[in-house]
Amino acid sequence: MRIAYLDCFAGLSGDMFLGALVEAGLDPQILHEATAALNIGAQIKIETVDRNGISCTKVHVLEDGKSAEAATSSHEHTHRHEHEHAAGHNHEHAATASHTHDHSHSHSHAHGRSLSAIRKLIQETSLPVAVKNTAISAFELLGASEARIHNVPVEDIHFHEVGAVDAIVDIVSASAGMHALNIERWYSSPLNVGGGMVDCAHGRFPVPAPATADLLRNVPTYSADIMMELVTPTGAALLRALIQEKGVAFGTQPAMRVQHIGYGAGSRNPKNFPNALRLSIGDANETSHEHSGHTTTDSITVDTVTVLETALDDLSPQILAHVTEMALQAGAFDVMCTAVQMKKGRLGTLITILADDAQAPALERLLLRETSTLGVRMRHERRSCIARKHAVVQTAYGDIRMKIGYHNDEELNAAPEFEDCRSAAIKHNIPVKIVLQAAIAAYRQSKP
């Protein structure tokens, strides 16, 4: 299984994430194409820099050939007190060119972009749907945090620094890079948020700034080494989107065979502090080990999952279907609906959700907000999972991915990816079952 580990000893920001992705093996063309697809006059420049003796990759965002970060720095001095709901604020960050990082707004957007405007901008690109969904999710999560902080509807929030060119490029191109690397499981160290105070549009606040702090709920953090803001709202939003879609396990590096290591640099270079993000990519080690609640023995991983349950006898099936879909989008591993008989002989539905502990609060809120329940049961259970890998088979209807489960090099299960089969069936106007059968037959014929 292909896994990745984020070592956030110097925090996390958009350009640090991009640089680490490139140095860890991502084709830079992925970032160039994602940036061009936005059609906002932006380009990226990639260079090798030194961060306290460590060679790192730095990704710059250019707007009409000039540094978008520099444009933000010079422009926001004029407008920093004019913004009622500035999502990016004015942060001094150890990874910025001057006073800001990951955030910019040009003169054409002096009053910021609304969430709906950013959503429309991303949706109108030619990028893959999965990439667009991740990028939009990052902005929606950031918008939700700002809305909670200011106690206003999320659509009333206008993104300023975080809604401008360099931040949009950071989030969209990072989303493209994450999907291109095909990482099956993400891990991360606790995040060093830095320390000290930051100047926001609403006054001076301790690090992390309000939006960042909200996005880092239930994420392990600490403060050490340097009195600067090390985690930006952009970096926190990207991490939260990754948690929501893929699930992220926090702790020390898991047992893994590391194949690629990338260091992504921030813009500033403090003395005696390597301002960089380290990304390690490789295969999960299949020998026995224990890590942060995860035990792997002979290709079987045993970990702990959070189970959320509630039983309902007064909810429309249409809303049940809606809640199921939203739970999966929010990062649930699985959602099950079981018919049950409740008090007074009423027929009802038991909703059961499996998730990482980090996703549990959001899923609990989803059940309480979207359903008619008055309470949610939560517990932890251990589960075992066999190792898995993917293969591609050729059929008369196109290439189909196969998901293969194995234990001790013995193949136990092999099944076609249903979405591939459904797309092929629609394209060729045939039943899905025909494509499923063709994929299974092709896979069996490929076996020695």
The whole-number pLDDT of residue 201 equals 65
Nearest residue to 68 via CA among 164, 166, 169: 166
Tokens of 253: 């590096």
The whole-number pLDDT of residue 301 equals 65
Contacts of 397 (CB under 8 A, 6+ apart): 424, 425, 427, 428, 430, 434, 435, 438
Give the pLDDT band (50/70/90) at residue 412.
confident
Q: Which domains does the chain have, with CATH numbers?
A: 2-284 (no CATH), 300-375 (3.30.70.1380), 387-446 (no CATH)
Report the percent of the chain where pLDDT is more than 70.
85
Q: For residues 61 and 18, what is the distance between their CA atoms, to the nearest angstrom?
A: 11
* 239 has pLDDT over 90: yes
Q: Which amino acid is at 444?
A: R
- Note the maximum CA span of the chain: 72
CA–CA distances in Å: residue 59 to residues 93, 174, 409: 16, 11, 41
Per-residue pLDDT tens over the stretch 246-256: 888 888 898 88
Give the pLDDT band (50/70/90) at residue 124.
very high
Please give the DSSP secondary-structure letter assigned to residue 111: T
- Give me the long-range contacts of 200-204 (CB less than 8 A, separation at least 24): 200/86, 200/89, 200/90, 200/91, 201/80, 201/81, 201/83, 201/84, 201/86, 201/89, 201/90, 201/160, 202/89
Cut 0.75: pTM above it: no
Give the pLDDT band (50/70/90) at residue 299.
low
Secondary structure E strands in 163-255: 185-188, 191-192, 197-200, 203-206, 221-222, 248-250
Place of tokens 């984020």: 6
* 388 has pLDDT over 80: no
State the pairing for strand pair 294-297/289-291. Answer: antiparallel
* 145 has pLDDT over 80: yes
* 296 has pLDDT over 50: no
**Mean pLDDT confidence for 146-163:** 73
Lowest mean per-residue pLDDT among 47-56, 119-128, 258-267, 288-297: 288-297
Please give the DSSP secondary-structure letter assigned to residue 227: S
Nearest residue to 193 via CA among 108, 91, 111, 289: 91
* 346 has pLDDT over 60: yes
The CB-side HSE value for 228 (13 A sphere, CA atoms) comes to: 22
The whole-number pLDDT of residue 292 equals 43
DSSP 416-440: E-HHHHHHHHHHHT--HHHHHHHHH
Please state, rounded to an integer, the average pLDDT across all residues of the chain: 83
- Please say whether the beta carbons of 363 and 357 come within 8 A: no
* 104 has pLDDT over 50: no
* 161 has pLDDT over 70: no
CB atoms under 10 Å from CB of 395, counted, come to: 21
* 438 has pLDDT over 80: yes
136, burial (CB in 10 Å: exposed 0-12, middle 13-18, buried 19+): buried
The whole-number pLDDT of residue 175 equals 96
Q: For residues 284 and 389, what is the distance between their CA atoms, to the nearest angstrom?
A: 11
DSSP 361-416: HHHHHHHHHHSS-S--EEEEEEEEEEEEEEEEEEETTEEEEEEEEEETTEEEEEEE
The whole-number pLDDT of residue 3 equals 92
The whole-number pLDDT of residue 316 equals 92
Per-residue pLDDT tens over the stretch 8-36: 999 999 999 999 999 999 999 999 999 99
- 208 upstream amide cis, omega within 30 of 0: yes
Strand partners, 283: 2, 257
Tokens of 249: 């396990």
Q: For residues 141 and 164, what is the distance between their CA atoms, to the nearest angstrom?
A: 17
* 37 has pLDDT over 70: yes
Q: Which residue has the higher pLDDT, 433 or 115?
A: 433
Cβ density class 25-49: b for 16+ within 10 Å, e for less? ebeeebbeebbebbebebebeeeeb
The whole-number pLDDT of residue 153 equals 81
Lowest mean per-residue pLDDT among 100-104, 151-155, 175-179, 353-357: 100-104
Q: For residues 374 and 367, what is the distance between their CA atoms, to the nearest angstrom?
A: 9
The whole-number pLDDT of residue 32 equals 96
